[in-house]
Structure 1
Amino acid sequence: MDWILIISGIIVAYLIGSFSSAVLIGKWFFNIDVRQYGSGNAGATNTIRVLGPKVGVIILLLDVFKGWLAVWLFGLFASTLTEPSASYIRLLYAFAVVMGHVFPLYTSFRGGKGVATLLGVALALFPTAALIVILWFIIILWIFRYVSLGSITGAILFPFLVIFLLPGPAPTTPLVIL
């Protein structure tokens, strides 16, 4: 294993996660810091509350994309690895990008909750389960009108979907439950 490449990839994933689109777009285009309003988080839900749904959806898509991108980058940094090492290192990249979103280097470690970024990670690692969770989230949001309820119940549903939808036991499956 080339540890320098692996560690470099983890650092890059964290830095990608640290890119706070809610803070940057809020400051660049609206001259406000979304963390000073609403829930105080630098995420898509608070951006929807503060800047409206159009801007919030853009933030949501950017946050999902950075989660997906960090896991995709795994292929560039660690393409020579074999299973099960590759799965565990891929999860380190996923963890790093989410931690970057929650504790961003560029904004004094005050970020969002990481739900959208984690969704991007889930789309990269387990796309079928992630798409089912997205559908679940939309249904819950439509019925109850609570983003948090959709997020929490989706997070509970996700590991069960991964366990039951995967064709065989994957080395990362126990870690999904965590």
Structure 2
Amino acid sequence: MITIYSVSALIMAYLCGSIPTAVWIGQAFYGVDVREYGSGNAGATNTFRVLGKKAGIPVMLLDILKGWTATNLVYFIGVSTTGASHSIAYTNYELALGIAAVMGHLFPVFAGFRGGKGVATLFGMVLAVNLDSALLCVGVFIVVLLITRYVSLSSITAGFTYLLGVTFVFPVYIRSVIIYGMCICALILVTHQKNIERLLKGKESRVNFFKKKIPDTSKRVS
């Protein structure tokens, strides 16, 4: 049932996701709009690429927090059903709020609707909805990152791991969660098309964990 509380929560979730952490941190501390360099995305991966880990880590954590916070706005929505129906309705509200936050990250009203790819915000949402599967995704992300040093490949692999997690490893018997997992896979493939092309050509940037990063503003987005 649509109520003023549910509509208000959805708007708040979108606005929370719209906070352009990569843009604001880049401009405030480095005088750089990360959307003008690297891949042109206002997200954690491009922040790592352009400004390094000192900027990338805070952006990633704050983007995760955006998704987690927005999803937990479900506590402000009164779910009138009981029993199994209550659990399903509650989860559906969580998914709707999380998706609103991701849309905010992709199309942020506070940054001219030019956002990032939403992976970190998606992960924050998954943390709130399915903690076990989220931790599985973290493990896969870390392993792939340590082996390949590709953030994009790690993100793609972790995204597909979520669907496997809620379907087989920690099965969730709510149809909307499975459908959402499929949508995550599709969204990741769409938003990472250029990364996939660079990976296939061997031109994707790798993360250097030990070398001090100097902000790379030499390659402006055309």
Classify the TM-score, shorter chain: over 0.9
Letter in 1 for 2:35: R
1:177 corresponding residue in structure 2: 182
Q: Aligned with 1:172: secondary structure?
A: helix
Letter in 1 for 2:99: F
Amino acid at match of 1:177: M
1:30 corresponds to which letter in structure 2? Answer: Y
Return 5+ residue gaps in structure 2 as ranges: 184-222
Partners in 1 of 2:77 and 2:91 — Cα distance? 13
Matches within 5 A, 1:1-178: 1=1, 3-78=3-78, 80=80, 82-166=86-170, 169-175=173-179, 176-178=181-183
Q: 1:13 and 1:80 mapped to 2: Cα distance?
A: 21
Q: Deviations over 1:22-70 (max 9, x none)?
A: 1111112222211111111100111111111011000000000010000
Percent identity over the alignment is 45
Q: What is the aligned length?
A: 178
Aligned-partner Cα distance in 1 for 2:134–2:126: 6
For the pair shown, the structure with the greater C-alpha radius of gyration is 2
**After TM superposition, what 4+ stretches of structure 1 lie above 6 angstroms from structure 2?**
none
Label 1:37 to 1:12 Cα distance change in 2 as closer, same or farther (>3 A): same
Give a deviation string over 1:58-109, Cα, whole Å, max 9, x none.
Answer: 0000000010000111112345552322222221101100000011011111
More displaced stretch, 47-56 vs 165-174: 165-174
TM-score normalised by L of structure 1: 0.93
Hey, which of these two has a bigger chunk of helix by percent?
1
Give how far 1:167 is off: 6.0
Instruction: Tell me the TM-score normalized by structure 2.
Output: 0.75
SS at match of 2:11: helix
Partner Cα separation in structure 1 for residue 64 and residue 80 of structure 2: 26
* Alignment-mate amino acid for residue 75 of structure 1: Y
